[in-house]
Structure 1
Amino acid sequence: EKINAVYRIMLALYFIHHSNSIHRDLHPGNILYLQSQNYWYISDFGFCGPVDKPLKSIYGNLPYIAPEVIVGKEYTFASDIYSFGILMWEISSGQIPFKNYEHNYYLAMNIVNGMRPKIPPGIPQEYIKLMKQCWDADPLKRPNIVTLGKEIE
């Protein structure tokens, strides 16, 4: 069930990226589940836009913001993939990332310096590997949406 949710959310992100757009605010508050269709949707496209129209301001929920964006770089497809990796963690753990931390400068700097949510026991190694690739500090090491889809399938 959790893998299905991850897969369906990935498909929704695929359609955004396939249309050459970046969501820029991917977090659980922007994920909708339609029970009657057993389908997951991404919502809130307020910051979503074309790749060639960059936003330099930081928007969103701090634990889901990619480290490079925190330090002032532009949002990219890889920034959305980072957010997706944190979503994978939340779905698999059933917890809120960094819930015991204030969402402030110190948390932001810890994220920039490599802090990620602690992975609880019982999560399959293949899932952990993919999740860690998604939240890699180096955006160039994160999978693109097509690779991500193939790995999840």
Structure 2
Amino acid sequence: GQWYISDFGFCGPADKHLRSIYGNLPYIAPEVINGKEYTFKSDIYSIGMLMWEISSGQQPFTYYVHDYDLVIKIMNGMRPQIIQGTLTEYKNLMV
């Protein structure tokens, strides 16, 4: 079978202001949460979180309330732990 990737809720209005924040908290890069513009690096962070979800079988930060406390933890460097048994090559792409 074939797999298709579609909108995960990362998108916002086509005419959105570059400093506006759209998306799901676990996938938004810390610098964007902090009010900086989206960049290529921000997209790489989001892709890394999606890769983590694929390798773990669950959404990042599933056991946390998606609130201000989680925002602060993410901005201070908290990331989901890479699952044991994840291939080294895959890990290297995520980090």
Q: TM-score range by the shorter chain?
A: 0.7 to 0.9
TM-score between the two structures when normalised by the length of structure 2? 0.85
- What corresponds to 1:40 in structure 2? 4
Task: Please report how far the alpha carbon of residue 77 of structure 1 lies from its aligned counterpart in structure 2 after TM superposition.
Answer: 2.0
* Structure 1, unpaired ranges of 5+: 1-34, 133-153
1:84-129 superposed Cα distances (whole Å, 9 cap, x missing partner): 0000000011011111111011111111111111111110111111
Instruction: Work out whether 1:86 is the aligned partner of 2:31.
Output: no
- What corresponds to 1:102 in structure 2? 65
| SS at 2:4 equivalent | strand
| SS at 2:32 equivalent | helix
The answer to whether the 8 Å contact 2:11/2:23 transfers is: no
Task: Please report how far the alpha carbon of residue 48 of structure 1 lies from its aligned counterpart in structure 2 after TM superposition.
Answer: 6.6
* Structure 2, unpaired ranges of 5+: none
Separation in 2 of the partners of 1:58 and 1:129?
Answer: 28
Q: 1:48 to 1:82 in 2, by over 3 A?
A: farther
- Residues 1-153 of structure 1: pairs in structure 2 closer than 5 A: 38-43=2-7, 46-47=11-12, 54-132=17-95
Q: Which of the pair is proportionally richer in helix?
A: 1
Moved over 6 A (4+): none
Separation in 1 of the partners of 2:13 and 2:42?
Answer: 12
Q: Which of the pair is proportionally richer in strand?
A: 1
Task: Please report how far the alpha carbon of residue 54 of structure 1 lies from its aligned counterpart in structure 2 after TM superposition.
Answer: 4.8
* Root mean square deviation, CA, Å: 2.2
Separation in 1 of the partners of 2:69 and 2:86?
Answer: 28
TM-score between the two structures when normalised by the length of structure 1? 0.55
